[in-house]
Amino acid sequence: MQRNEDRAAAAVPVTAVLGPTNTGKTHLAVERMCGHSSGMIGFPLRLLAREVYDRVVKLKGETRVALITGEEKIVPKDARWFLCTAESMPLDKDLAFVALDEAQLGADPERGHVFTDRILRARGREETMLLGSEALRPMLKALVPKIEIINRPRFSTLTYAGAKKISRLPKRSAIVAFSAEEVYAVAEMLRRLRGGAAVVMGALSPRTRNAQVAMFQAGEVDYLVATDAIGMGLNMDVAHVAFASLNKFDGHRQRRLRIAEMAQIAGRAGRHQRDGTFGALVEEGPGAFTPEEVLAIEEHRFPPLEQLYWRQGAPDYSSVDALIESLEQRPQHPALWAAPQSVDLAVLKRMAEEPGVRARARHPAMVARLWAACGVPDFRKLGVDPHTRFVARLWGYLSEGKGHVPHEWFAAEIARLDNVAGDVETLAGRIAAARSWSYIANRADWLADPAHWSARASAVEERLSDALHTSLTQRFVDKRTTLLMRQIGADPRALPVTIGPEGEVLVEDHAIGRLDGFRFTVAADARAADKRLLLAAAERRLGDERARRGLALAEAADADLTVVMDEGAVPMLLWRALPVATLGPGASLMRPRVVLDRALECLTVELRARIATRLGDWLSGQLRRALPGLALLDSVQRDPAASPASRAVAAALVAGGGMVARPDIAVSLEGLDGVARKAFRGAGVTIGALDVFDARLLKPGPARWRRVLRAARIGAGVEAGPRDGATVLERSAPGATLDHGYRPVAAQAVRIDLVERIARAAHEARGASGRKPFALDPALALSMGVTRPTLERLMAGFGFRPAPGGTDTAALWTWRGLPTVRAAPPPRDTALAGAFAALADLAV
């Protein structure tokens, strides 16, 4: 086995180009390949193969360049240059040039046997080139004795920059993590602190990866979060590489990165002749670099590789047992170690335990087909058992009939995956599943119409990739925050804040919130961690606009101001439909206090004082027009020239909103002389039999103002009032109380002005009949809607009692007289303390 490989190696000159990252090794290989009539390069990543494919297509044209990976195969009829993943390199092709990139991956336990096989067997007709780390030198000399080794120095300097927290990382930094969970956590933190980051992982489709990298390259985000896939030659404009961790799970155990692995990743910093830096996120602990590691990385000194992993690259297909035996064969060369059992071999062994599998794999062609089925990668990382079940079903179709996968199964699985809804993890899972079907579709003899199904699978993967890019961007990139960080970091005064016609606040074309009146509200889609930054940005640039609006409010026209009177609403003042103040308890009911909205605290003290004065003046004017009687009574209660009795009656009426039960102020009423009584009547006050009130306040408009003032007095919402124009209410109806101008009597509540009309009609009928019983006009109560029990209770309250001889429709009444009960002084309004209250006490 080994002698044949040595003879193959000796037949063609082989050149090794070794050195650290950023030495131009891959660029050199591409140039050499394009200088030959045909060629092929094997890469460690599908992403890298695709990147170089796009470059070569620009040089040679689409019809002459092929791309071959497990999930993607573009092979034009006249293809002469092939860009492949290492696993997919077609070694049977006769090509002038063959190269293998990142050949040191032969030391990788999982995939190393593939790279070692290519080192030993992949040869170009005219030139073979192996690219890799200087640590590979002794292995190449041992395996390919006549190899020519060329060392290339790094174009730029790589320097350790120390540990930096995420919040202090320089722009154009790449942060490397070693699990999807860690990548997402770092990206989320960068979104909160710096506006976001692009995300690059080996599991991403090329389309998603390219879209994410394009954001970073275009400067839409200043940070990139990636797995160690970034170390495999992906070219990006990175100035600094920060390690979120120095430990990774290698499929078997959690271990610390080897120095060569650290250097491979750190070497992504700097590009061509631009220097780069690297560091960690912590200064101490397992996540920090040791001085020895730093020195080795900076000087590119790595321990040489002591072995490469090997597995038979041309296994025996004579039988299933022969296949397994050849794959488990031990290498004969001392520089080679047997590769650990990989997933494909584990699946093959489990499949071989099934009698039906062996029965169908009796010929070399079917054994080879079985091994090809076992080689379907476990893209979804399900584990050996679930993946074996999937392969077993696939093998069942491949080993019967024409050996084609039923298009019904393929179509159903593709249709199930063709769903762009879901979060990042869900979409990534669907893409991983779609890669399995793309892999199957790219096997020319596994489907009846492989070209059609390959196109279908690719279209689904592209749609999912676009959705994943959008989802990643929405989750980990906040363009508003990115823009604000840049602007604030440069010059806060230059922040380009504009206000749209609907109040939207924009920084360039990005909405950061709304300015409604004086209140800035952060955009609803901003996360909690960003709100402080957005508020700070707005506060710095909205001061002039708020001052302009404040001045306009201080000089507001009457037509621009209104009062909220809606049922249940807190009484407040509106300016151009925007709340600017609420009404609170003041010196009296007619003098509520204007409390400016907290949003106006952004204005100066002087401007707020002017606004408060303007709103207070406007409100006083509105009250004088809507409630002229109460306004006059309010001035009477404060008039030192008025008698104590007059001031006491006025104060009681103001406190009651222009309505008070007569017994409550009986003592004060007795103190009024004729002149005072006439003055009160001139002010619109009715001194009735049961109540003292201003009848104008019972109209709908003044009644609403009364409810607003009462709500402001007690600091509550506006009460529900009676329906407009109602004369009699059910006692349980809203507003059926004396506070709203309705006197509860029996099962009804009668409006107090109508109660007074009935009382006067009764006294007029009594006067006309002398001392004889009299009848009250029945139409009077009937027209009001007053029932017989209610009327009887009212008449009793007026001092009348039923007389004999009446009928059901026309009762007779006689005068009984009112009891001489001295009423208690009215309860003192706590807001009317001081000198006036003392005068009221003296009046009693």
* 176-202 pLDDT per residue, tens: 998 888 888 898 888 877 778 899 887
Q: Please report where in the chains the tokens 């409630």 appear, as a residue.
A: 627
Q: Tens digits of per-residue pLDDT, 517-546?
A: 888 777 766 555 555 555 666 666 677 788
Of 358, 354, 380, which Cα lies nearest the Cα of 433? 380
Q: Using the predicted structure, report yes or no on whether residue 832 has a pLDDT greater than 50.
A: no
pLDDT computed for residue 428 by the predictor:
86
For residue 254, the cross-strand partners are 249
Confidence tier at 475 by pLDDT (50, 70, 90)? confident
Q: Using the predicted structure, report yes or no on whether residue 29 has a pLDDT greater than 90.
A: yes
Q: Tens digits of per-residue pLDDT, 545-573?
A: 888 889 999 999 999 999 998 888 899 99
SS3 295: helix
Give the separation between CA 280 and CA 247, rounded to whole angstroms.
Answer: 12
What does the block give as tokens for 237?
């404009």
**Residue 666, class by beta-carbon neighbours within 10 Å (0-12 exposed, 13-18 middle, 19+ buried)?**
middle
Phi and psi (nearest 5°) for 656?
-90, 10
Strand 685-687 and strand 578-584: pairing? unpaired
> What DSSP designation does 546 have?
H
Our measurement of the distance from residue 499's CA atom to the centroid of its chain's CA atoms, rounded to an integer in Å, reads: 23
Q: Tens digits of per-residue pLDDT, 673-701?
A: 989 999 899 889 999 989 999 999 999 99
Phi-psi region of 27 (alpha: psi -120 to 50; beta: other; left: phi over 0): alpha
What does the block give as tokens for 317?
């297909």
Alpha helices in 353-449 (DSSP H): 355-360, 364-374, 384-398, 407-417, 424-441
Tell me the C-alpha to C-alpha distance, in Å, between residue 241 and each of 170, 181, 265, 352, 665.
10, 19, 8, 47, 86
Q: Where in the chain is the domain with CATH 3.40.50.300?
A: 1-153, 158-306
CB 281, CB 242: distance < 8 Å: yes
Give the separation between CA 151 and CA 347, rounded to whole angstroms.
Answer: 41
Q: What CATH architecture is 158-306?
A: 3-Layer(aba) Sandwich (3.40)
pLDDT computed for residue 835 by the predictor:
32
pLDDT computed for residue 799 by the predictor:
87
For 308-312, 630-634, 684-688, 776-780, which range has the lowest pLDDT when averaged over its residues?
A: 776-780
Task: Place domain 1-153 in its CATH homologous superfamily.
Answer: P-loop containing nucleotide triphosphate hydrolases (3.40.50.300)
Tell me the C-alpha to C-alpha distance, in Å, between residue 560 and each of 549, 577, 578.
13, 8, 10
Confidence tier at 827 by pLDDT (50, 70, 90)? very low
Tell me the C-alpha to C-alpha distance, in Å, between residue 30 and each of 15, 99, 148, 230, 275.
14, 9, 19, 20, 24
CA dihedral 401, 404, 406, 410 (to 10 degrees): 160
Strand 800-803 and strand 812-815: pairing? antiparallel
Of 529, 535, 538, 547, which Cα lies nearest the Cα of 496? 538
Angle between helices 343-352 and 384-398 (to 10 degrees): 60
Give the separation between CA 108 and CA 232, rounded to whole angstroms.
Answer: 13
Predicted TM-score (pTM) above 0.95: no
| Mean pLDDT in residue range 210-228 | 87
DSSP for 356-368, written as a single string: HHHHH--SHHHHH
| Mean pLDDT in residue range 407-426 | 91
